[in-house]
Structure formats: structure tokens, C-alpha cells
Amino acid sequence: MKKFTILIVVLAACHQLTLAQQVPQFTQYLYNPVSINPAFAGSTKSFSAILMHRSQWSSFEGAPSTQMFSAHTPLRNQKVGLGLSLVSDGLGEEKFDYLYGDFSYTLQVGRTTRLAFGIKAGFTHYSINPELLNSSDVQTDPYFNSYSDSWSPNVGIGSFLYGEQWYMALSMPQMFNIDHIGNADTSYRVADSPNLYFTAGYNFPLNQSIVLKPTTMFIVADGSSVSIDIGTNVKFYDRFMLGANYRFNSYDAVGGLGSFMIGKKLMLGYAYEIPISGIRPYTGSTHEFFLRYDFISNVN
């Protein structure tokens, strides 16, 4: 039991560096940017809702599993956007739940250029499997003395500059340090900490039917290395898209992704990712699915 407890603590520390300190990261972030940047709320000019599921390192027992629902919409004047995100992020015996709302305001700063500012506010809930907490070894472990099953408030900010064929965005979805276990003076902590996100993309029309869409995302995480995602997608006939991405961070990975339209409103997507760092012999691949529905808007 002691060895199992140590393993859980180590996994929690690793999770802190990759997922627990930041909004869970998706390979297909292009389809759901409002989850990390409130300034994107309402930017699609219609009510948009998305369900996403990510199973990371699928053959690894207790591997990260994340589910997300988010929705956002512009108001009638197109300047104000509202959004909502619900996230459940689990790793082994621990789990994070996020409930956040978004508000954005957009300014016309050029003939075809807009600048949006956003604020995100809500709560993060951290919990540990009660069976583990009730074990005798854990109850006598001073590391867990500071643990409490509660919802912690936090806020985030973001900005989004975009034109007809390009965009760039900067955000910090969680601005405050929140300790769920331990504190700033302890060696091991499970905490929400500020992380800075930069995303950018450009559309290169190759002809009337094909568009090349390179994208990138940088994450500057508190207390860890910079994570970099570089991807390229090709969109065909406004109906389906294929792409590839590469991630540089504590667990380098390479993957492919694709999406296609079912009718005019429904989009289905899938991403497959494999680690290429030292962890590869011990883990499996990562699978990610999403289903997005864009409703017809009466915004003028």
C-alpha cells in the first residue's frame, strides 16, 4: 500500500506539470479555443456547442482521461460574446472538475481586423478517490493533511486579434495560485497555477476548394518547461479536413487528426497521437474525439 501511495503521489506531481496546473490540453484545440481563451466567446458568429473526449496513454492503467463540454454565442450586436465550459479531468486516483463562464467584448480596429478581450470566471474542484483516502496509510500520511474536498474560485483573461485569414491570441485562463494539497513551502503540491497561452494560425487558400491552415500553440507553465504545439491542416471543399501535429514538452508526441461535416451544422473529429519520448515503451497511444454543432444564428 505504501508503494501504491508513493506511485499516486508521483503521478500527481507529473500531472501537475502537464495537466493539473492548466486547463486540460487537447490536440484539436483549433475547434474549441474558448476553453483556454475567453476572448474567443462569440467569435464563430453563431451559437456553437462541442463535446470532446480524450484518452491519453490508453494502455496505461490509471492514465489521464478528459471529458469536456463547452458552448458559446455572440449577442445580437456581435460585440459581446458569452460562453460556458464544463471539464472533467481524471488521472488515477485524482480528479479535477472545472466549471467556468466566459465574457468577451470585440472592437473593430481595422477594415477587416477585430480585437477581442475576454474574462473567464468560475470554480475548480479537486478530489481523491475516497477508498484511497480511507486507507490507514494515507490517513497517517502528513502530505494529505491539507487536502479538502471543495470548490476553489479562479479567474482568467484573454485577448484575440484576427482578420479574414489569420489570428493570434494570448490568454491566462487561471490567474491565481490555488493549492489543493500542500502549499508553496512544500516539496510536493497539487495546485492550479498561472499559465500563459499563445495561439496563432493562418489560412493559405491553395485554390477555390483547398485551404492550408498551419497553427501553433505555446504554453508557458509555472515551474516547468515551455510546451509547443505545431500543426498543419488541409481543408477540402469546406467539408473535411486532415492534419498532423507535433508537440515539444515533457512528453513529446506526434499525431494525426481529421474532421468532416455531417450536413451543414454537425462536425465530427478524431485525433490519434503517439508519444515519442522516453515514456513510449510504457504507454499506449492517445485517442481524442469531438462532436460540434453550430446553430443557425439570427445575429445581424
Instruction: Give the CATH H-level superfamily of domain 2-294.
Output: Outer membrane protein transport protein (OMPP1/FadL/TodX) (2.40.160.60)
Which residues, 6+ apart, have CB-to-CB distance to 185 below 8 Å? none
Please report the sign of the dihedral spanned by the C-alpha atoms of residue 20, residue 23, residue 29, residue 31: positive
Domain boundaries, the chain: 2-294
For residue 277, pLDDT beyond 90? no
- pLDDT for residue 102: 97
pLDDT per residue as tens digits for the range 18-37: 334 456 778 898 898 999 99
- Region of poorest pLDDT, from 13-27, 107-121, 195-209: 13-27
For residue 186, pLDDT beyond 60? no
- Residue found under cell 500563459: 196
Q: What is the mean pLDDT of the chain?
A: 83
Quickly list DSSP for 122-169: EEEEEEE-HHHHTSHHHHT-GGGTT----EEEEEEEEEEEE-SSEEEE
Cα distance between residue 103 and residue 157, in whole Å: 10
More confident residue, 225 or 183: 225
Cell triple for 118: 475576454
Instruction: Using pLDDT thresholds of 50, 70 and 90, give the confidence band for residue 76.
Output: confident
Q: What share of the chain has pLDDT > 90, as a percent?
A: 52
The 3-state DSSP class for residue 19 equals helix
